[in-house]
Amino acid sequence: MLNKKIIIIDQSSRKQQEQIVLSEDCLVFELIDQESQLKQKLKTEIIIKDNVLVDYVFVLNQQGSLFSEARVIKLGINSVLHNYYFYLQSPAELSLNQYLDSHSHLEHQVFVYLNNDLHFSLQENNNFLYPAGEGSIKIITLADDRARINYFSDLLIKKAAINTEARLEMEAFIWSKEAKVNLTPGLSVEPNQVKASHAAKISHLSPEQSFYLQNRALTEAQIKKLIWQSLLDKLTVKINHPEIKNRLDNLLNKIKFYEQNS
């Protein structure tokens, strides 16, 4: 990742309908924050050419107003895409369709954090179209206060996509009684010669766990921070470019945690 071309996507000149073509190995950093002021529904198409390796870091931290986007990603033959998507404290209505050509490889890692009364909804379709594609999709969601998260993710393996290997893992962490998370993994397989699986898990911070940690002189906010950091480390460990890692760390460190009764 250190020697790749760096592409920073500037949201100040963002069009409502945008096409991004990546024709050489690169690291892309895309940030949508409060300064972006994107209010219309966006349509984004990302095309990765044959034999290209891309690391793509996407951060949504717009907060306030609802963010809406329909995003399409197309992987060429023998291409590799490592996605690192962070949706932070932002109400959103999203769709994401990813299409894999033959011998392409997708690692799609997502972290969603929502609090207050915010609502987040995402419909994700991972389409394996041709032979020997590989996909690893890992979704982590974290809900606090009265937040609502609905995440639908499907593996769709088409008839021509023999020898495909794909796995979908979804995990939710719920920090309050009022927060709600709905994880819906889906799997549709047309050919026989594939390896595919999906799973979903929901965890709560129990009163016993909270009591145990608080007895070790940790406040509720500190406990949340520790859990948050351990979950993020699973995603950020592979982002080793100093400039991009520093940008991401600065954004993540601005997230504050509070006691439930504050």
Closest CA to 95 of 73, 76, 118: 73
Per-block mean pLDDT, blocks of 10 residues, the chain (262 long)? 80 80 96 75 95 96 87 98 96 97 98 95 98 97 95 98 97 92 97 94 70 67 81 85 88 73 44
For 104, what's the count of Cα atoms within 13 Å in the CB-facing half-sphere? 31
pLDDT score, position 259: 55
State how far the Cα of 35 lies from the Cα of 38, in Å rounded to an integer: 9
pLDDT score, position 211: 59
pLDDT score, position 238: 85
pLDDT score, position 190: 96
CB-CB contact of 32 with 10 (8 Å)? no
Helix locations, 15-125, DSSP H: none
**Residue 173, exposed/middle/buried by CB under 10 A (0-12, 13-18, 19+)?**
buried
Pairing of strands 105-114, 80-88: parallel
141-156 pLDDT tens trace:
999 999 999 999 999 9
Q: For residue 259, how many other CB atoms are within 10 A of its CB?
A: 9
Reported pTM? 0.92
What is the DSSP code (8-state) at residue 219?
A: -
pLDDT score, position 19: 94
Closest CA to 39 of 117, 74, 105, 91: 91
pLDDT score, position 215: 67
Per-residue burial over 47-68, b = 16 or more CB atoms within 10 Å of its CB, e = otherwise = bbeeebbbbbbbbbbbeeeebb
pLDDT score, position 38: 67
Sheet harboring 194-204: ordered strands across? 5-9, 26-33, 53-61, 80-88, 105-114, 134-143, 164-174, 194-204
pLDDT score, position 7: 93
